[in-house]
Amino acid sequence: MKTQKSHSHKPGSLNTDDPQLKENPFQVPDQYFEKFIDTLDLQQNKGRKVHFLPAVRQKVKRYSVAAVLIGLVSVGTILFFMMNKPETGQYSDKLGRIQDTPKRSQVKQPVDTSQKAGVLSVARQTIIPEVKTPAKQNVTNDNSIETLTNEGITDDDIIEYLIDEGFDVIDLSYQP
Amino acid sequence: MIENSDQEILALIRDNNSRRQGFNILVQKYQKKIYWNIRRMVVNHDDADDLCQEVFIKVFRYLENYRADSSLYTWIYRISINETLTFLKQKQKRFFFSLTDYEHQLANTLQADPWFSGNEIQLRLQKAILLLPEKQRLVFNMKYFDEEMTFEKLSEVLETSVGALKASYHHAVKKIEKELTGV
């Protein structure tokens, strides 16, 4: 027989011996325990109905979601900067530095061809040594230096270069 | 009905001819205890049913590995506790981004549960139990509702010292009292 505890129960505290509290408030469907054994599918190892994704699939799913999110953020960032490209600074110099205003060379101006001959002679003397100097440091083949210095430099490039460097085209072409 | 001892059940299971019969006896012997232990933790009947099935399937599958270091009941109980705690962790993960946690949600839906028939005081007690930390809830449920469960048995099942279990139980009772009285 169960003996009763000697201490009295404090009002408001949990009476651990209260049979009403120890009564099971939960219910199960009729005949649940009797039928339980039949619901066990031991051959197929079928477990609970609520299946969680296996750990590997869960990881793959998680990383895929993360990769897609990172991709979306990257594309969004690139698009944002492309759409908000500043109006100023659309002009750049030869070295690719952004300029707020166009240079004289970047504003299309008709070039007086009569000035070309005088300009070219000076320009070739100015530019070619400049290009040759660094080229000599890296390239040992003399033929390739010639190719480097002569290829791709048009007369217009030379004129533009001189104008950028502050030469006055009119003064250079002056023939006394 | 004479209840078979664990040794008799194990002998039946180890014999291939009586394996299924032995397992049926084992299920009938322990299903109620295991079910109610799980049910008090997860509250919902469907979840408890799924977990109970999972436990006995695991018992059937791994019974050959049972080395009788502990009693059969302790071994099954341990499987059921591990399954229950894993289930609760999964549920809590799903509630990670939710404004309320899983235990609060369970406490709130308890009243609407068709398989809950408790009166006002029982409802308040169950709600208070659900708000306990997992380990304290487990200890309280196992000790308070199971008359036969001693701290020594509990210590064997949970692999925790008797002193730690007594402390857990004591803290749980204090928290429940506080919750019930609102002090």
Position A76 scores a pLDDT of: 93
Take residue B80 and report the two structure tokens written for it: 């059921």
Give Cβ neighbours of residue B98 (< 8 Å, ≥ 6 apart): B105
In this complex, which of B31, B39, B181 lies closest to A12 when CB atoms are compared? B181
Q: Among positive and negative, which fits the CA dihedral A108, A109, A114, A118?
A: negative
| A-to-B residue pairs, Cβ atoms closer than 8 angstroms | 90
Give the model's confidence band at A166: pLDDT under 50 very low, under 70 low, under 90 confident, else very high: confident
Take residue A175 and report the two structure tokens written for it: 């023939």
Query: A49 touching B, CB under 8 A?
Result: yes
Token pair 């977990």 is found at: B51
Q: What's the whole-number mean pLDDT along residues B19-25?
A: 90
Instruction: Work out the angle at residue B156's Cα, subtended by the Cα atoms of residues B154 and B159, and round it to the nearest 5 degrees.
Output: 100
Q: Phi and psi at residue B116, in whole multiples of 5°? A: -115, 120
Which tens digits make up the pLDDT trace of B57-99? 999 888 888 877 788 888 999 999 999 999 988 887 776 666 6
Give Cβ neighbours of residue A148 (< 8 Å, ≥ 6 apart): A131, A135, A139
- pTM check: above 0.90: no
Give the closest-approach CA distance of B2 to chain A in angstroms.
17
Which tens digits make up the pLDDT trace of A103-154? 665 555 555 555 555 656 666 666 555 555 444 444 444 444 444 455 677 7
Contact B72, B66 (CB under 8 A): yes
Rounded CA separation B148/B146 (Å): 5
Position B61 scores a pLDDT of: 87
Q: B21: closest CA among B5, B9, B35, B3? A: B9
In this complex, which of A23, A25, A48 lies closest to B50 when CB atoms are compared? A48
- What SS3 state is found at A26? strand
* Contact across the interface for B117 and A27, Cβ inside 8 Å: yes
